Chain A
Amino acid sequence: EAQVTQNPRYLITVTGKKLTVTCSQNMNHEYMSWYRQDPGLGLRQIYYSMNVEVTDKGDVPEGYKVSRKEKRNFPLILESPSPNQTSLYFCASSLLTLAGTTGELFFGEGSRLTVL
């Protein structure tokens, strides 16, 4: 089954304790991306990757890191989490079209993170 898998789905942590949210896709997609979703602010892009070792900032990258060492995986790293990073996080992937744009995005089920 084609899917994007995120882990953990739920996490409560404390300020400053490094954490990683993993994302894996089984569709051989070139493009992967992370979003956070907050009430009233909608979905905001954190980072995206067009292929292995190619990443770039989205609209809200501060406080986050990513890496793309393998095509299927795109982990999101919070080196020193703060309470304002409490949010619902989504990973997504898609093929890149011949026109050089993203195709339809497939989203994971989300990871709800609380930073105390």
Chain B
Amino acid sequence: EDQVTQSPEALRLQEGESSSLNCSYTVSGLRGLFWYRQDPGKGPEFLFTLYSAGEEKEKERLKATLTKKESFLHITAPKPEDSATYLCAPVPNDYKLSFGAGTTVTVRA
């Protein structure tokens, strides 16, 4: 069975303190990986899709990278508005989309 694990569960950062979030998976025939951001009480918002090992994508202070076994979301010089829960999900083979439990990031000014 496909498994998606995100770590750490929670991350508390000072403004400007860069860090990385991890998404590891055991998925046969990985077709890609989604990253989403979710603010409390709201629906997840799409950030990136990565399709192949070695691929990188950036958006403002966020950069996502992909290997065969895991993906990293790097947050460079975060600001308080980057506080959110970040979710990853492998692109499904069979339309069943399974999300990781998420990493909740809190950035203090």
A residues contacting B by CB (< 8 A) are 4, 31, 33, 35, 40-43, 45, 48, 50, 56, 58-59, 88, 90, 92, 99, 101-110, 112
Which of B41, B44, B46 interacts with A43 by CB under 8 Å? B44
If over half of B's interface residues share one DSSP class (helix, strand or loop), that class is named, otherwise mixed; here it is loop
Roughly how many angstroms separate A90 CA and B36 CA in the complex, as a whole number? 14
**Residues 56-109 of B contacting A (Cβ, < 8 Å):** 87, 91-93, 95-102
Q: Are B44 and A105 in contact (CB under 8 A)?
A: yes
A42-B91 contact, Cβ under 8 Å, with A104-B46, A107-B44, A107-B45: no
Roughly how many angstroms separate A112 CA and B40 CA in the complex, as a whole number? 13
B97: chain A residues at CB < 8 Å are 33, 45, 48, 102, 105
CB distance from A17 to the nearest CB of B (A): 25
Q: Are B99 and A56 in contact (CB under 8 A)?
A: no
Roughly how many angstroms separate A59 CA and B36 CA in the complex, as a whole number? 20
Q: Are A110 and B41 in contact (CB under 8 A)?
A: yes
Which of A42, A59, A88, A106 interacts with B96 by CB under 8 Å? A59
Q: Are A90 and B43 in contact (CB under 8 A)?
A: yes
CB distance from A113 to the nearest CB of B (A): 14
A102-B92 contact, Cβ under 8 Å, with A42-B102, A45-B97, A48-B97: yes
Is B31 an interface residue, CB under 8 A from the partner? yes
Q: Are A110 and B96 in contact (CB under 8 A)?
A: no
Q: Are B46 and A48 in contact (CB under 8 A)?
A: no
Which 10 A/B pairs are nearest by Cβ-Cβ distance?
A107-B43, A42-B101, A104-B46, A43-B99, A101-B91, A107-B44, A90-B43, A108-B43, A109-B43, A110-B43
Q: Are B96 and A58 in contact (CB under 8 A)?
A: yes
A103: chain B residues at CB < 8 Å are 49
A41: chain B residues at CB < 8 Å are 101
Which of B42, B45, B49, B98 interacts with A59 by CB under 8 Å? B98
B93: chain A residues at CB < 8 Å are 101
